[in-house]
């Protein structure tokens, strides 16, 4: 057996891992190999503690918690935005923690989609997460347009997008572009800088959904001059189920009135003047709508500390090592079982998870869970495995592949139906 295909080699990699101490920061189940951090990150002990801390501030300060205590609630969205800004390469004023992913997309499209003359269409892609497409179609309908005004760039292989095809679709009738930074199935990273430059050369505003990239890869949104972006915080950021989302607006758009104005769109100093004419905040805070969900934002206070200590560049480096090691093991151990690796070969294009296709994918995922490996299934035949740099080890990767091999050798999956579960 080649040394790299042994458990001893995985242990050797773990010994040399600069980030190995962060594994102790998370609640891990014994014998369970968690490979679903690209859907829901694990709870960190610090995130758990900051929920208790925010609860205590409510208990101690009651209404005065808005302005008193270690984390005044009135400014929590801004302070968390500042802490998150380094992960997306933005100025602190350009990021605000607020709302949910789709609500934020509605806000940004209602702000920046300005159909005029022959520029009436929105450009997206055929591989994006459904929620984004639902929102874009809704925004078109609100403006009096039908689905024909949503242009979706197709994929030639069903897994990846050709950036040149996207650029070629940036025609004179496109008013706005919304794309994913990382494709949720194949993990392909789109060249956001290149696409933004091409859009701006054609006078088109462009934004990105960062749900599958934030916390896994570095970004430079400000330097790339991306117009806007939005993302959830419960995947790689480990903010917990339903944790508050976030958005970015480039400073060149400060002063643009929010498409969906609300109570917390206000300038903080004037908000309680109770005027019926909005004076928007002079930064990304203008794109908030309602009152911050303080208790749902609380885990992020602790979760983000770990990213500042580890550093996104080191996180990305280990993530690439983990996924490269997993690909190597899959190619060696599972070559006879019909799996197809659908990730980009070039690591510069590969996000933080591995995407496998197999005709029996749904039942294989059920068998993996029985063997205490937690993957996720994507219809019709996809298995996603996400070794996360902050809490997964190289031994986790080794163990995951070995258990999958045993499932295939023993045909354990045959005892399950090949249909997805209600939540997959």
Binding residues for pyridoxal 5'-phosphate: 101-102, 129-132, 209, 212, 234, 263, 291
**Among residues 389, 356, 350, 383, which one has the least CA distance to residue 190?**
350
Calpha distance 354→402 (Å, rounded)? 16
**Tokens coding 386:** 């996400």
The 8-class DSSP code of residue 6 comes to S
Across 287-338, the runs of DSSP E, i.e. the strands, are: none
Helices (H), 311-422: 312-333, 361-370, 394-409
Question: Burial code of 83-119, b = ≥16 C-beta within 10 A, e = fewer?
Answer: bbbbbbbbeebbbbbbbbbbbbbbbbbbbbbebeeeb
Q: Which residues are annotated as a binding site?
A: 101-102, 129-132, 209, 212, 234, 263, 291
Tokens of 192: 């956001």
Q: Which are the contacts of 311, defined by CB distance < 8 A and separation ≥ 6?
A: none
Say if residue 380 is preceded by a cis peptide, omega within 30 of 0. yes
Token pair 């899959």 is found at 330
Q: For the sheet with 340-341, list strands across it.
A: 340-341, 354-357, 382-385, 376-378
Alpha-carbon dihedral sign for residues 137, 143, 146, 148: negative
Q: What angle do CA 161, 162, 166 make, to 5 degrees?
A: 95
CB neighbours of residue 350 within 10 Å? 23
Give the span between the Cα atoms of 144 and 287, in whole angstroms. Answer: 23
Q: Decide: helix, strand or coil at residue 395.
A: helix
Query: Encoding tokens for residue 420?
Result: 């997805």
Q: Rg for the chain (alpha carbons), in Å?
A: 22
297 and 307 in contact (C-beta within 8 Å)?
Answer: no
204 Cβ contact list (under 8 Å, min separation 6): 123, 170, 174, 175, 176, 177
User: Quick one: which of 231, 211, 179, 206 has its CA closest to 113?
Assistant: 206
């Amino acid at each position: 057996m080649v040394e790299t295909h042994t458990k001893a080699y995985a242990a050797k990699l773990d010994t040399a891992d600069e980030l190995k101490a962060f594994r102790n920061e998370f609640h891990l189940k014994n014998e369970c190999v968690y490979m679903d951090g690209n859907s829901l990150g694990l709870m960190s002990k610090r995130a758990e503690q900051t929920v208790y801390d925010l609860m205590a501030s409510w208990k101690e300060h009651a209404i005065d918690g808005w302005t008193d205590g270690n984390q005044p609630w009135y400014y929590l969205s801004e302070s968390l935005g500042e802490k998150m800004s380094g992960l997306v390469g933005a100025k602190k004023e350009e990021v605000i923690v607020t709302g949910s992913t789709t609500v934020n997309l509605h806000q940004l499209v209602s702000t920046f989609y300005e159909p005029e003359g022959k520029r009436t269409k929105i450009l997206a892609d055929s591989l994006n997460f459904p929620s984004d497409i639902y929102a874009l179609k809704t925004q078109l309908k609100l403006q009096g347009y039908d689905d024909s005004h949503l242009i979706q760039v197709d994929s030639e292989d069903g897994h990846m997008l050709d950036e040149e095809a996207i650029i070629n679709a940036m025609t004179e009738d496109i008013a706005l572009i919304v794309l994913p930074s990382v494709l949720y199935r194949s993990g392909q990273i789109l060249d956001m800088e290149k696409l933004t430059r091409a859009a701006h050369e054609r006078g088109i505003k462009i934004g990105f959904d960062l749900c599958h990239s934030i916390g896994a890869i570095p970004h430079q949104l400000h330097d790339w001059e991306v117009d806007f972006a939005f993302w959830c915080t419960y995947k790689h950021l480990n903010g917990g189920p339903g944790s508050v989302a976030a958005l970015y607006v480039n400073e060149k758009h400060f002063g643009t009135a929010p498409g969906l104005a609300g109570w917390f769109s206000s300038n903080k100093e004037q908000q309680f003047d109770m005027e019926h004419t909005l004076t928007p905040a002079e930064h990304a805070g203008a794109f908030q709508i309602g009152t911050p969900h303080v208790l749902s934002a609380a885990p992020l206070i602790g979760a983000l500390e770990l990213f500042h200590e580890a550093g996104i560049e080191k996180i990305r480096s280990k993530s690439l090592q983990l996924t490269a090691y997993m690909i190597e093991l899959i190619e060696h151990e599972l070559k006879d079982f019909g799996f197809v690796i659908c990730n980009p070969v070039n690591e510069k294009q590969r996000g933080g998870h591995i995407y496998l296709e197999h005709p029996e994918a749904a039942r294989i995922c059920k068998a993996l869970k029985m063997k205490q490996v937690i993957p996720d299934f994507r219809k019709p035949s996809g298995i996603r495995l996400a070794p996360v740099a902050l809490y997964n080890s190289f031994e986790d990767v080794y163990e995951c592949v070995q258990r999958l091999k045993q499932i295939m050798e023993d045909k354990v999956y045959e005892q399950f139906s090949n249909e997805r579960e209600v939540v997959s």
